[in-house]
């Protein structure tokens, strides 16, 4: 694992291969469990605005959670991928208001709120492939959420940062680079793990 990214590429490949082997039944059961556990988090229970994302493919499922948050009256922001890999945001208005976008993503079909809209969130659900015992997250490598985290830091915004993963994606160690930020909690079908601030 001597790549320039400290071994992230190799670990990503292993984790994506593992996800590819999951059965539809396992994925569906995980989505239900993740939704229940995430809704029980105080950070989401008390949130007025949550920045989230629509799971695609074999990602840990967020769709049931998005609906439950909306039913509670939570303002849910969803990302819109920009040509430079930064993220704009739009409001989640239900599954009938999602449009297919590049890279197999689903995005909100309504007005764009601007990249800074995420700074209004009380909690941010981050996609990922793994989290380690320090709360360091491994993403897919596009850098979109690194920009989101940097934007939050510049704005002085301090939302709860939460990652949804499968149980075996909480690992001993994730390769870390200087720009990486730890998250506050990881939710898996098997439970919730919190990380102390650095």
% helix / strand / coil in the chain, to the nearest 5? 35, 25, 40
CA gyration radius, the chain: 16
Asked if residue 145 belongs to a known ligand binding site, the reply is yes
Asked if residue 54 belongs to a known ligand binding site, the reply is yes
Asked if residue 35 belongs to a known ligand binding site, the reply is no
6 CB-contact burial (10 Å; exposed 0-12 / middle 13-18 / buried 19+): middle
Asked if residue 8 belongs to a known ligand binding site, the reply is yes
Find all residues with CB under 8 Å of 172, minimum gap 6, and list them. Answer: 132, 133
Asked if residue 144 belongs to a known ligand binding site, the reply is yes
Asked if residue 10 belongs to a known ligand binding site, the reply is yes
Asked if residue 143 belongs to a known ligand binding site, the reply is yes
Asked if residue 141 belongs to a known ligand binding site, the reply is yes
| Count of Cβ atoms closer than 10 Å to residue 41 Cβ | 18
Asked if residue 12 belongs to a known ligand binding site, the reply is yes
Asked if residue 61 belongs to a known ligand binding site, the reply is no
Question: What is the C-alpha separation between 177 and 100, in angstroms, rounded?
Answer: 32
Summarize the annotated binding site for ATP as residue ranges: 8-12, 137-145
Summarize the annotated binding site as residue ranges: 8-12, 54, 59, 137-145
Summarize the annotated binding site for substrate as residue ranges: 54, 59
């Amino acid at each position: 694992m001597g790549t320039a990214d400290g071994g992230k590429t190799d670990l990503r490949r292993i984790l994506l291969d593992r996800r590819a082997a999951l059965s539809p039944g396992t994925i569906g059961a995980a989505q239900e469990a993740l939704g229940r556990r995430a809704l029980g988090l105080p950070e989401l229970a008390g949130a007025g605005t949550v920045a989230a994302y629509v799971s695609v493919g074999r990602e840990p499922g967020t769709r049931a959670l998005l609906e439950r948050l909306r039913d509670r009256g939570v303002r849910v922001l969803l990302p819109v991928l920009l040509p430079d890999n930064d993220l704009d945001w739009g409001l989640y208005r239900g599954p009938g208001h999602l449009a297919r976008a590049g890279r197999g993503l689903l995005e909100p079909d309504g007005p764009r709120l601007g990249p800074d809209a995420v700074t209004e969130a009380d909690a941010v659900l981050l996609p990922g492939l793994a989290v380690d015992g320090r709360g360091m997250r491994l993403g897919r490598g596009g850098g979109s959420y690194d920009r989101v985290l940097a934007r939050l830091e510049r704005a002085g915004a301090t939302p709860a940062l939460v990652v949804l993963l499968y149980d075996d994606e909480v690992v001993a160690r994730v390769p870390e680079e200087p720009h990486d930020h730890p998250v506050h909690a990881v939710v898996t079908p098997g439970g919730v793990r919190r990380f102390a601030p650095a």
